[in-house]
Amino acid sequence: MLGFLILALVGLFGLFIFPFLPYHTLGEDIKIVVSQGLTLVKLACVFLAIWTASTSIAEEIEGKTALMILAKPVGRQKFVFGKYLGVMIAVTALFLILGIFFLNTVSYKMVYDARESAKDLPTWVECWGYVRRIVPGLFLAYFETIVLAAISIAISTRLPLLPNLTICLTIYVLGHIVPMVVVTDAVVDMPIIGFFANLVCAFLPILDHFNMETAIAMDRPVGWEYIGYAGVYSVLFAVVAMMLSLLLFEDRDLA
User: For residues 249 and 245, what is the distance between their CA atoms, to the nearest angstrom?
Assistant: 6
Structural domains in the chain (count): 1
Tell me, yes or no, whether 130 lies in a domain.
yes
Lowest mean pLDDT among 71-75, 150-154, 235-239: 71-75
- Asked if 144 and 42 count as a contact pair (C-beta separation under 8 A), the reply is yes
Residue 181: domain span: 2-250
Among 149, 142, 161, residue whose Cα is nearest residue 94? 142
Tell me, yes or no, whether 255 lies in a domain.
no
Classify the phi-psi angles of 64: left when phi > 0, otherwise alpha if psi is within -120 to 50, otherwise beta: left
Tens of pLDDT, residues 19-42: 888 776 766 788 888 888 999 999
Tell me, yes or no, whether 36 lies in a domain.
yes
- Asked if 57 and 171 count as a contact pair (C-beta separation under 8 A), the reply is no
Tell me, yes or no, whether 166 lies in a domain.
yes
Tell me, yes or no, whether 213 lies in a domain.
yes
Tell me, yes or no, whether 138 lies in a domain.
yes
Among 194, 157, 141, 173, residue whose Cα is nearest residue 81? 157
User: For residues 213 and 210, what is the distance between their CA atoms, to the nearest angstrom?
Assistant: 9
Tens of pLDDT, residues 111-152: 887 777 777 777 778 788 888 888 888 999 999 999 999 999
pTM: 0.84
DSSP letter string, 42-75: HHHHHHHHHHHHHHHTHHHHHTTHHHHHHTSS--
